[in-house]
């Protein structure tokens, strides 16, 4: 499309040839003369201006660094990365299919909107409701009494078990399993007995769920993923977990049963949450941290020790065990010498 149309759809100003045609987006080092690129950071501006790209999204604050005599076609945005993401969806729109593939196995009790797409070898059980423009990829399984709202997309081989509610405009990537029984067990005379899980999984609108992520159903109450949550690949969310609106969870994180994550939280890769704890809103847990108690205040939290030479790490690890006794001895010395009184004065 030409830049004039693109700028109008994005709602941003254009400097340059309004009739210039862009036919794709690209990274700076792979750009062609008809490619659209973006620069979020001034450090990449020089490389962008010398790249082959035909059009560039930049921040207005970077205009002073641009040689007007040699400048490319420019689209001005206060948030170039976000604008680029929107441009991608305009220039490369997702294909929307309609209809039901003849190999799909669908219960006569299911309700499927005529605009939905049901791909090859999909299985849809009794009393399932499928909304407008829903896209169900090949080999997906939708369990009985589940509901999928408008414009949600399931990539191939997603498993949705019984009585799962999924909101509108969600994206669930391949291999995800939603609504399986959680790790609920009770012990009797040394043997484990499985506890039946009768709750649901309820997923809000605009939620992304990554490949091979699992979200377990609740035991009696529901597991709940609120609007706008983004979940990466290979994340485990246990029974009765609640994840607040617009929180993000990176790959390989694990949330134990009945943990509650507030709104606008960020759990980085490999984070672990113990069960029955609560995170306040706007909490950021850095990568590979283990959370063992509730966090009442927003902020950035970390645990663990950084990578070190093994010889140094082993020495420090041996000393970790003596930290408590060292602290106690230091406290006795401070009291004996009157250091604490001095510090308080």
Is 260 in contact with 241 (CB distance < 8 Å)?
A: yes
List the catalytic residue out of 97, 239, 246, 284.
Answer: 239
Full DSSP string of 59-123? -GGGGGGS-TTT--EEEE-SSHHHHHHHHHHHHSPPP---EE-TT-EE-TT-EE-TT-EE-TT-E
Is 111 in contact with 130 (CB distance < 8 Å)?
A: yes
Is 240 in contact with 221 (CB distance < 8 Å)?
A: yes
239 is catalytic: yes
Residue with tokens 């950021």: 284
Number of Cβ within a 10 Å radius of residue 220: 11
The residue count for the chain: 345
SS3 (DSSP) at 327:
helix
Q: Could you list the active site residues? A: 239
């Amino acid at each position: 499309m030409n830049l004039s149309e693109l700028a109008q759809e994005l709602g941003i100003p254009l400097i340059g040839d309004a009739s210039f045609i862009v036919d794709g987006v690209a990274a700076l080092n792979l750009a062609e003369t008809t490619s659209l690129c973006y620069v979020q950071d001034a450090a990449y501006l020089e490389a962008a201006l010398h790249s082959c790209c035909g059009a560039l999204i930049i921040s207005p604050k970077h205009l002073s660094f641009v040689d007007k005599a040699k400048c490319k076609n420019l689209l001005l945005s206060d948030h170039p990365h976000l604008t680029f993401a929107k441009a991608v969806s305009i220039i490369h729109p997702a294909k929307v299919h309609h209809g039901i593939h003849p190999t799909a196995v669908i219960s006569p009790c299911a309700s499927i909107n005529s605009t939905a797409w049901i791909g090859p070898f999909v299985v849809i059980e009794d009393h399932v409701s499928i909304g407008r423009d829903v896209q169900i990829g090949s080999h997906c399984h939708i369990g009985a009494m589940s509901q999928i709202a408008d414009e949600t997309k399931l990539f191939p081989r997603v498993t949705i078990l019984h009585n799962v509610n999924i909101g509108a405009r969600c994206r669930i990537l391949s291999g995800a399993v939603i609504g399986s029984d959680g790790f609920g067990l009770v012990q009797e005379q040394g043997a484990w007995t499985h506890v039946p899980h009768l709750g649901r999984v309820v997923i809000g609108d605009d939620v992304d769920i990554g490949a091979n992520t699992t979200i377990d159903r609740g035991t009696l109450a529901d597991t709940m993923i609120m609007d706008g949550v983004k979940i990466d690949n290979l994340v485990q969310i246990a029974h009765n977990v609640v994840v607040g609106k617009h929180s993000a969870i990176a790959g390989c994180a694990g949330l134990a049963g009945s943990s509650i994550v507030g709104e606008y939280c960020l759990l980085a890769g490999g984070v672990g949450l113990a069960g029955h704890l609560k995170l306040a809103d706007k909490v950021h847990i850095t990568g590979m941290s283990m959370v063992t108690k509730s966090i009442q205040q927003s902020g950035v939290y970390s645990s663990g020790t950084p990578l070190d030479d093994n010889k140094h790490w082993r020495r420090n690890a041996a000393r970790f065990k003596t930290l408590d006794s060292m602290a106690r001895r230091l406290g006795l010395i401070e009291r004996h010498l009157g250091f604490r009184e001095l510090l308080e004065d």
